[in-house]
Structure 1
Amino acid sequence: MSSSGTELATIRSHIAGLPGWGSGDMVIEPAIPVLASPSWRGVDGFPWRATRKGSDESIFIKRMDRDAELYIDVACAFESAQRASDLGIGPKVLLADAKAGHLVMEDLNRGWRVGTLERMLEPKIVDAVIAARRLFQTGQPLPRRKSVFDEIEDFYTAAMAANAQLPLDAEWMVKELRFAADAFGELDITPVPIHGDGNVSNILISDAGEIRLIDWDRATTADPLEDIGSFLVEAFAQEPEARDAFIRNAGAFEEGAFNRARIYGVADDLRWGLIGALLAARSARNTLEFYKFASWRFVRCRMAVREPRFGEMLRRLA
């Protein structure tokens, strides 16, 4: 049996143990295209859809790729997806097997669409996304406790060890964000569980305006402003819109907290640039444009750090 045939057989055996799926024929096929650039979609785990023949009933299966061990704590990611399911802010989890790397969920297909930047212009959608993130933050700490600054150090070390292609100023960007990490270390921050990934394609929106957060692979216990910071940098290119979303999150404007969130967004770009560079060097999936994705994140980080406002934000954290 081929490797793909073995994989499908394993997925089929997992599904067969679910209530109502133990009998009858089913069709298992790829759910969405996998691409790294321009959007990191389906990269962490190959997405499958299982449909019962003769009906519209389907379920969604995420099978973590071997690359996941390079940059994801799968057990924590699956635990976070289960928590989101229990809270009603993520797809309902039917089975989570971290050892096998299989996450089986309800299939939010018909009547749901992936979030886009245009939908982030709708106040009701932004409010729903913010409310979901804040609800998740009320839970118990997750076993993973790494901030974006911790991950920058980890992935920079890993990228260097892999002889990854990095921009000439990569070390400079890392050093600049170390200054930020040192400044944040002086603040009184209470870590909470966070989603940790602001990519708008990780938001599913129903025709009725409901939202669900997906892809909990960066979930961790960290500063709650890190969560809103990664969302701001992805969803709002201009500061006025980012400021408005921040106020919707905090209830009021506080300059030090806003600066902190914005710097977290800059750090998020550097982290993802390093992840992309690492996978470009280490992944066997050479058809995905990992470095193209990395280059864009490096460019955005570089632009932000070079602005005089970056230093001003660092000076005004409190």
Structure 2
Amino acid sequence: MSNVLGQASTAAEREVEEHLRSVPEWGGLGVEYAPVIGGLQNSNWRVTVPGDHRSYFLKVPGAGTDAFIDRGVANVAAKRAGDLGISPRVAHFDGASGAEVCEFLEGYRACTNGDMKEWAITEDVLRLYDAFHGTEPLPVTKTMFDLIDEHLAQGAELGAQLPPFASVLLREYGIVKEVLQASGLDLVPCHNDPMPGNFLISEHGPMKLVDFEFASNNERAYDLALILAEFFYDEPTAMACIEAAYGSTNWKVVSRVQLCRFLADVKWGLWGCVNHQLNTSWDFDYHKYGVWKLLRARGQMADPRWSQWLQAV
């Protein structure tokens, strides 16, 4: 059910109206808005404007998310992706609040893990990432090591609870960090968050990439490793993805991606444990999610090829 600007009856609706009033072009118009289901931390809204044939999507940042997200960098990344045609175009951005308005994609839906079982869908995902990797460098470089170290510092400050085996993971993390840094990093603009819902598909248009909140210049192999981890790909599919992305499955490339897959789960595992301390009102068990990710990273380093991967990069 839609509200017209000025009809807010809840705190969330009043916040939305405050953001809508900040868009200069919409001043004095009977703008309508309605909630969009989805999103773990932000609130999302569909906006319609009298006399405009397009609809818009408003993202309002959730409380506590600034601990992880540079909204200015996210907006730069979103604008570049929109200009490239791989993402909805940004219509308005409020630098003070981080609220962002972009075009609403009619007829599109978010992907699920089930969609990612189709190789054609996976190819589209890889195509979008390859296009984004080819854009100009972003204003911020945040490697997977920066991200992990940031979460470790946040966790220590907030008293985040880590599972007993975390000490083993962090010891091995130090080794992986040393090995990959010595090899040199292949830094490109990275999306850094390939959850299935960030890929939108339609029967009438190409796949689109959304949500650049974690974007930064980062290691190319890490962005691919995130895809392999997030979509639960088995080894044959992972090898097919590596070949599609790099044109080769030589042992050095495979080893690099596999080590980054370990780092991906360490990063998001720590993120989950830290988020649990930041806001207990979110309707999601962040601690359970975080421990599961860390446990999966533990399984990755238990692979009998682990030492060979470390030596190969």
C-alpha distance in 1, partners of 2:192/2:146?
A: 13
In structure 1, the partner of 2:36 is 31
- The structure-2 alpha-carbon separation of the partners of 1:284 and 1:117, relative to structure 1 and needing over 3 Å to count, comes to closer
In structure 2, the partner of 1:4 is 12
Q: Deviations 1:202-259 (Å, cap 9, x if unpaired)?
A: 1111114611111111211122111111111112431111101111111222221122
Residue 78 (structure 2) pairs with residue 70 (structure 1): no
Q: For residue 5 of structure 1, report the CA deviation from its aligned partner.
A: 4.5
Residue 253 (structure 2) pairs with residue 257 (structure 1): yes
Preserved CA contact (<8 Å) 2:158 2:277: yes
C-alpha distance in 2, partners of 1:258/1:93?
A: 36
C-alpha distance in 2, partners of 1:235/1:209?
A: 23
Alignment of 1:270-309 (within 5 A): 270-309=266-305
2:84 to 72, 83, 87: 87
Q: For residue 315 of structure 1, report the CA deviation from its aligned partner.
A: 1.8
- The structure-2 alpha-carbon separation of the partners of 1:225 and 1:211, relative to structure 1 and needing over 3 Å to count, comes to same
- The structure-2 alpha-carbon separation of the partners of 1:104 and 1:30, relative to structure 1 and needing over 3 Å to count, comes to same
C-alpha distance in 2, partners of 1:113/1:8?
A: 23
Q: Does the residue aligned with 1:291 lie in a helix, a strand or coil?
A: helix
Letter of the 2:192 counterpart = G
Aligned residues: CA RMSD? 2.2
Q: Deviations 1:34-83 (Å, cap 9, x if unpaired)?
A: xxxxxxxx134221112357998521111112211111121111111111
C-alpha distance in 1, partners of 2:98/2:46?
A: 16
Letter of the 1:8 counterpart = V
- Per mean C-alpha deviation after superposition, the further-off stretch among 145-154 and 111-120 is 111-120
Q: TM-score, normalised by structure 2?
A: 0.90
Residue 116 (structure 2) pairs with residue 111 (structure 1): no
Q: For residue 182 of structure 1, report the CA deviation from its aligned partner.
A: 0.4
Preserved CA contact (<8 Å) 1:81 1:216: yes
Preserved CA contact (<8 Å) 1:142 1:221: yes
Q: TM-score, normalised by structure 1?
A: 0.88
Alignment of 1:84-233 (within 5 A): 84-108=81-105, 110-208=106-204, 210-233=206-229
User: Which ranges in structure 1 are unaligned for 5 or more consecutive residues?
Assistant: 34-41
Q: For residue 273 of structure 1, report the CA deviation from its aligned partner.
A: 1.2
Preserved CA contact (<8 Å) 1:149 1:177: no
Preserved CA contact (<8 Å) 1:68 1:74: no
Q: For residue 23 of structure 1, report the CA deviation from its aligned partner.
A: 5.1
Preserved CA contact (<8 Å) 1:198 1:232: no
Letter of the 1:269 counterpart = D
Preserved CA contact (<8 Å) 1:195 1:227: yes
In structure 2, the partner of 1:268 is 264
Preserved CA contact (<8 Å) 2:144 2:219: no
- The structure-2 alpha-carbon separation of the partners of 1:127 and 1:77, relative to structure 1 and needing over 3 Å to count, comes to same
C-alpha distance in 1, partners of 2:13/2:200?
A: 30
Letter of the 1:93 counterpart = V
Q: Does the residue aligned with 1:66 lie in a helix, a strand or coil?
A: coil
User: Which ranges in structure 2 are unaligned for 5 or more consecutive residues?
Assistant: 1-8
Letter of the 1:258 counterpart = V
- The structure-2 alpha-carbon separation of the partners of 1:98 and 1:54, relative to structure 1 and needing over 3 Å to count, comes to closer
Preserved CA contact (<8 Å) 2:41 2:282: no
Q: How many residues align?
A: 305
Q: Calculate percent identity across the aligned residue pairs.
A: 28
Q: Does the residue aligned with 1:237 lie in a helix, a strand or coil?
A: coil
